[in-house]
Structure 1
């Protein structure tokens, strides 16, 4: 692998993160429970990790602000527009997977 400077690596990681967030914003058909069942994380996890990073850096950011950064709108708006009730199969898969974070 090419030796990257810390700044170059950080820029690449930030670009990849922004692309992931944009991809998830475009795929509103993919429910958080589907992400949790398949990958062990969801949009809420990303928003929590974003908030953790802000807190570690000493930056003033609220949970609502971190969710808006990931969802692209207030969380309650996203839920009203895109979140569906989980099916029994989705709930059963979630209980079986039991993500540990």
Structure 2
């Protein structure tokens, strides 16, 4: 692995650790503010693995990002999105 790849991998590990330390930050908040969330990271991981010829399914990737099976994380930490959060999310989506 070259230095650039090592650095990028370290940054991803730090981002995942940071998100794990901020379970209070909901995915809807991340989507509304940054346009991505933990689930997006999981999807990007699946796609990057496929680009390298490695098969990782979505649930495996989610477990890597969430640090536990998603269903468990969701039960423990995910809150119901407010009407305001959902409206903001809908407004941020591309118009067709």
TM-score, shorter chain, exceeding 0.5 = yes
Q: Confirm or deny that 1:82 pairs with 2:77.
A: yes
**Separation in 2 of the partners of 1:87 and 1:81?**
18
Structure 2 residue matching 1:14: 3-state secondary structure: helix
| TM-fit CA distance, 1:60 | 2.2
Q: TM-score, normalised by structure 2?
A: 0.94
Q: Which has the larger radius of gyration?
A: 1
Aligned residues: 95
Whether 1:17 and 2:12 are equivalent positions in the alignment is: yes
Match for 1:71 among 44, 63, 66? 66
1:19-54 Cα shifts (integer Å, max 9, x gaps):
000000110000000000000000000000001011
Which residue of 19, 23, 26 corresponds with 2:21?
A: 26
Q: Over the residues paired in the alignment, what is the CA RMSD in angstroms?
A: 1.5
Q: Which of 89, 93, 96 matches 2:91?
A: 96
Instruction: Mark the runs of 5 or more structure 1 residues left unpaired by the alignment.
Output: 1-5
1:13 Cα deviation from its structure 2 partner? 0.6
